[in-house]
Amino acid sequence: MTVQIAILGASGFVGGELLRLCVGHPDFAPVRLFGDSQAGAAIDKAHPHLALAYPGMRFETYEESALDGIDLVFAALPHGASQAIAGTIIDRDIAFVDLGADFRLRDPAVYETWYGEPHRAPDLLGHFVYGIPEIARAEIAKTRCVAAAGCYPTATILALKPLVDAGLIDPKSIIVDAASGVSGAGRGLKESTHFNAIAESYSAYGLVSHRHTAEMEASLGATVLFTPHLAPMNRGILATCYGTATGPMAADAPLEALRAAYADEPFVHVSETPPSTKWTLGSNAAHITARYDPRTGRVLAISAIDNLVKGAAGQMIQCANIMLGLDETAGLGTCGVHP
């Protein structure tokens, strides 16, 4: 079986990563690459690292007729863009994995609160499953539309959900302090992502107002204070998460809760050692640890992922595999490129 794939946003970082991973996928064939800003250009203009794998392919401008014959659409578009095209894809009954924020929140009012504008396709929200396979595998298997989770929420939810579900932490007490590599900010040119702005810089941004907070809160059923930081590295997210313990517990109780939750997961590694983003580079793995601190009565949980793989393209492929009934791990690896 070959799945004919269209990628919207194919010239961006996530687009490149989808293309890289599809090379190793036995069933996925990217056949239409939409990237308006690069339309007409050869693929290696935007992605020189893919030159040998996709000789002769070019980016093109999106138009609806280009979806003829497509089995699966991956969209990695700027915020808001998916609302305009989702209807078409759904009407054509094409499997759809969207990485935008547009369909991640079930409640359009919450969307409006955090995104500052009304949702333009609220009637379509019900089609989408929030895409983190480890917490919604069954629902993903039954849907045609996945709103793949963002990078920060994926790292956070994987670290905290088993602890909230096990009743170990107070869901109203959560603080998430996370750091991301620069690719999370996308490929657009900004002062803040100039090499000289980043090298030797570590700083916080989006104080008390980052939009990904809404996803974390919705998925965890929690109140979250989230502070993202930009770290001088290409890739990786580390989420260091704090919650007030619901009561005294063994020091390793949180770790055991994680181990129990993820015992059969192919992409989640739970260990006592604090993880590094570096272990995940280029892979779909998540590495997680946790502790109870009896001195302060808090639980600490830390997770590391590659923001472009488990936090984006890899998760999209994992969701698509499930949705299409394929081997969930097809095209995806667990080994980071190290060092």
Active-site amino acid positions: 151
Work out how close the CB of 119 gets to a second copy at its nearest, in angstroms, rounded to a whole number.
Answer: 21
> Does the footprint of a second copy cover residue 201 (CB under 8 A)?
yes
Q: Structure tokens of 61?
A: 């401008």
Torsion of CA 86, 2, 44, 196, to 10 degrees: 60
Could you give the CA distance from residue 100 to residue 145 in angstroms, rounded to a whole number? 12
Nearest CA to 189 among 10, 12, 9? Answer: 12
Cis peptide before 232 (omega within 30 of 0): no
145-184 residues in contact with a second copy (CB under 8 A) are: 175, 177, 179, 181-183
Q: CB-wise, 83 or 213, nearer to a second copy?
A: 213
Q: CB-wise, 24 or 40, nearer to a second copy?
A: 24
CB distance 240 to 177 below 8 Å? yes
Could you give the CA distance from residue 239 to residue 159 in angstroms, rounded to a whole number? 8
Q: CB-wise, 11 or 82, nearer to a second copy?
A: 11
Q: CB-wise, 83 or 315, nearer to a second copy?
A: 315
Contact with a second copy (CB under 8 A) among 1, 138, 208, 263: 208
Stretch that binds a second copy, among 69-77, 129-137, 163-171, 200-208 (CB under 8 A): 200-208
* Residue with the two structure tokens 């088993």: 162
40-69 residues in contact with a second copy (CB under 8 A) are: 44, 47-53
> Does the footprint of a second copy cover residue 260 (CB under 8 A)?
no
> Does the footprint of a second copy cover residue 259 (CB under 8 A)?
no
What string of H, E and C letters represents the secondary structure of 48-82?
HHHCCCCCCCECECCCHHHHCCCCEEEECCCCCHH
271-330 residues in contact with a second copy (CB under 8 A) are: 271, 273-283, 285, 287, 289, 291, 293, 295-296, 298, 300, 302, 304
Q: CB-wise, 199 or 250, nearer to a second copy?
A: 199
CB distance 238 to 179 below 8 Å? yes
Work out how close the CB of 135 gets to a second copy at its nearest, in angstroms, rounded to a whole number.
Answer: 19
17-36 residues in contact with a second copy (CB under 8 A) are: 19-20, 23-24
Could you give the CA distance from residue 298 to residue 317 in angstroms, rounded to a whole number? 36
Work out how close the CB of 293 gets to a second copy at its nearest, in angstroms, rounded to a whole number.
Answer: 4
